[in-house]
Amino acid sequence: MSQRNTTTLTGYIVAAASLVPFFWLTLGDAYGRFMITFDPNSSAASYWLEPYTGHVTGLVCLAAPMVLAYFLKTIMANMLDSAREISSGVIHWLLLNGRKLLAFSVQKGHQIFNNLKQARAGQSGEQAGSDSTVTRPATRVLNMTIQSLFHLFLVAFVTWCAIALYLYFSQSRLLYYPEMPSRTVNATPDNIGLAYEELQLTSSDGVRLHGWYVPAQEQRGTVLFSHGNAGNIGHRLDSVRLFNRLGLNVLIYDYRGFGNSEGKTTEAGTYLDGQAAWTWLTEEKQIDPGQIVIFGRSLGAAIAADLASRYCAAAVILESAFTSVPDMAARLYPWLPVRLLSRFQYNNLDKVSRITSPLLIVHSRDDEIVPYEQGERLFEQAHEPKQFLELNGGHNDGFYLSRDHYAESLAEFLQWVLPDPDRE
């Protein structure tokens, strides 16, 4: 098992184990407050204080996973490079299991309403007789049930707000993964037998970026490659080799905060990074924009769409692209107001409508991260000329599992936008 999987699994275990006392105390609290109404020796103080004690304790136990994960992260920081993934795993577990927590609250509500029915039945009995031993428990159960509903709602609302607040301030960590599997660039085009030029690009705001320029032997054009939201350029050598075989020079670069690039990753910053790569090709290398293919995969498709909405290139290829970050967040966390909370947009649906270059949209029906329907929506929004390429396989391996079909389709598209007589 990889280091990342181990630390993330640890986070899940910590979260699940820490939630056990919350469920235990909440159930125990409900049962205890129900039974105390029938105890003739219970005092008024215990009657009023017991509900608050149980729910406050339950809320503390619900927060325990986050607190525990934070301390684990701090303690292990010098021992494990990816220790912060423990806390990410905890929060990820809480976010993905929000529905289960809400379902549990609904179940509790049903239990309380059942108690309410029993209380009403007891009140009906009071009208039939004057036994004081029936009147007192029935009335107290009714009052306790109303209080339980209010306290349960209060705990659920505070917890929901806490998770929403964490999500708001942790968006960059949920969107960018420069250290997965590693931020270190461990491989270069030398490893696949390709000559290359090491680049140091500078964005318009002064951030230095790292990249490679890999020339093709039989050149028909150049591809500007923007990769996804994890890892670095060293993890994209298979794609570099494919484009090289198709007769394209390749400029591939790391965004700020990724690989050997400096700075902190932001949405606006990634747009500036793409602009820096485009400027280097068109000004430093003096390459005609009509010979450049703008390519982006996953998050990189958003940077590619931004460039293509402002410049006319030979062609644009958007692979495994999403419509926007709020659309993706709403799919993952439908129980949170993510459209209001989102500090990132990457609105590809809007930008694709402004692309005038020939466009190829690539998507897999088996994509488990970005729904196939989002690729279809982008295609529908785009103007002609455009093509759609359907792959098989997951989000991160579709191009590899469909490599023969993928390579042939790319070759046909490139022959259309960048004709090469020797390849006809």
| β-pair partners for 253 | 211
Task: Kindly report, residue by residue over 239-260, the tens digit of the pLDDT.
Answer: 999 999 999 999 999 999 999 9
Average pLDDT over residues 297-314: 98
Average pLDDT over residues 379-403: 95
Residue 298 a catalytic site member: yes
Residue 397 a catalytic site member: no
Of the segments 1-10, 59-68, 264-273, 392-401, which one has the largest average pLDDT value?
264-273
| β-pair partners for 292 | 222
376, two tokens: 């279809």
Q: Each residue of 39-61: b (16+ CB within 10 Å) or e?
A: eeeeeeeebeebbeebbebbbeb
Residue 182 a catalytic site member: no
pLDDT at residue 25 in the model: 47
Q: Which CATH architecture has domain 189-423?
A: 3-Layer(aba) Sandwich (3.40)
The upper half-sphere exposure of residue 159, i.e. CA atoms within 13 Å in the direction of its Cβ, equals: 30
Task: Kindly report, residue by residue over 207-236, the tens digit of the pLDDT.
Answer: 999 999 999 998 999 999 999 999 999 999
Of 90-94, 236-240, 414-418, where does mean pLDDT reach its minimum? 90-94
Q: Enter the pTM of the model.
A: 0.71
pLDDT at residue 4 in the model: 44
pLDDT interval class at 161 (50, 70, 90):
confident
Kindly name the residue from 395, 397, 409, 420 that is annotated as catalytic.
395
Average pLDDT over residues 43-69: 48
Q: Does the pLDDT value for residue 38 go beyond 50?
A: no
Q: E strand or H helix at 319, and its extent?
A: strand 315-319
Of 87-91, 371-375, 383-387, 398-402, where does mean pLDDT reach its minimum? 87-91
Kindly name the residue from 298, 320, 342, 364 that is annotated as catalytic.
298
Task: Kindly report, residue by residue over 127-147, the tens digit of the pLDDT.
Answer: 555 444 444 555 665 566 666
Of 80-94, 141-155, 274-288, 334-348, where does mean pLDDT reach its minimum? 80-94
Q: Does the pLDDT value for residue 305 go beyond 80?
A: yes
Q: Each residue of 64-97: b (16+ CB within 10 Å) or e?
A: bbbebbeebbeebeeebbbbbbbbbbbbbbbbeb
Q: Does the pLDDT value for residue 26 go beyond 90?
A: no
pLDDT at residue 403 in the model: 93
Torsions phi, psi for 226 (to 5 deg) = -110, 120
Angle at 188 between CA 211 and CA 415, to 5 degrees: 70
Average pLDDT over residues 172-191: 94
Kindly name the residue from 254, 273, 327, 367 that is annotated as catalytic.
367
For residues 7 and 11, what is the distance between their CA atoms, to the nearest angstrom?
A: 6
pLDDT at residue 160 in the model: 84
pLDDT at residue 166 in the model: 84
Question: What is the share, in percent, of the chain residues with pLDDT greater than 90?
Answer: 56
Query: Between these two residues, 361 and 130, which has the higher pLDDT value?
Result: 361
Q: Does the pLDDT value for residue 188 go beyond 70?
A: yes
For the chain, the average pLDDT equals: 80
Domain boundary assignment for the chain? 3-169, 189-423
Burial class of 105 by CB neighbour count within 10 A (0 to 12, 13 to 18, 19+) = middle
